[in-house]
Amino acid sequence: MFMCLLMVFAIGCSQQPLAYETIHEAAFHGNFADVERHLQKGAALDARDKNGMTPLMLATEAGKQNMVEFLVDKGADVNARNNDDITPLWMATSEGHLDIVKFLVDKGADMNARDKNGLTLLMIAAGRGHLEIAKFLVDKGADMNARDKNGLTLLMIAAGQGHLEIAKFLVDKGADVNEKSELGLTPLMGAAFKGHLVMVKYLVDKSADVNASDKGGLTPLMGAAYNGRQDVVEFLKQHGAKE
């Protein structure tokens, strides 16, 4: 009993009920005492739940940096993959946890790992608008020329989501505003189709071809008109788009 009282401040008395039934829940909620006790009871550090998620992945998703560092220091696999080929670093990038991204990269996490859809971390950052993470990954050598399974580039992804600052960063780094996917899609098409007028204006200012067409003959103007993006339609017409 005396030893139990001594341990309560560190990991809790063994007779005290666990707040979380699994190590995954404890890690997600940043409960160090429960994580320790689950490990003492035989839980694996890289145990998988039904989705293939490890405690580290869940702590990363939740932005629990202290827990992330704790698990990694204990030997958690920074390159583990879940059922969708998602890694802890993918989680941190998707959720915008820059400090965790930096920590995981420093611990050897693979910056060019792809998920089951062929998306890289830079693509995730571009699609979510996480500019500082994108800058960090590029500075660390992440591949800026990678394409997804459909041949989409970083700029196409950013433009399609309307993330202007990401697009500016990529163009400043040399991205081609007239690059095409396997189906002939351009960054301008993605922006026009989705009605991102500010992005459309930026790309046109950077000499994007307003009359480019995909393999089906669809142009930015056609896509914008079909989707009811009237402001984009008017802008494109004013800048030479042919009907």
Domain ranges of the chain: 171-243
pLDDT recorded at residue 3: 34
pLDDT recorded at residue 8: 44
pTM here is: 0.86
161: which 2 tokens? 């989501």
Q: CA 46, CA 240: separation in Å to the nearest integer?
A: 57
Of the chain, the percentage scoring pLDDT greater than 90 comes to: 89
Q: Which CATH class is domain 171-243?
A: mainly alpha
Q: What is the mean pLDDT of residues 54-83?
A: 97
Residue 186: name the closest of 241, 117, 119, 125 by CA: 241
Q: CA 146, CA 120: separation in Å to the nearest integer?
A: 8
pLDDT recorded at residue 18: 77
pLDDT recorded at residue 16: 66
Residue 6: is its pLDDT beyond 80? no
Q: Where are the beta strands (DSSP E) in the chain?
A: none
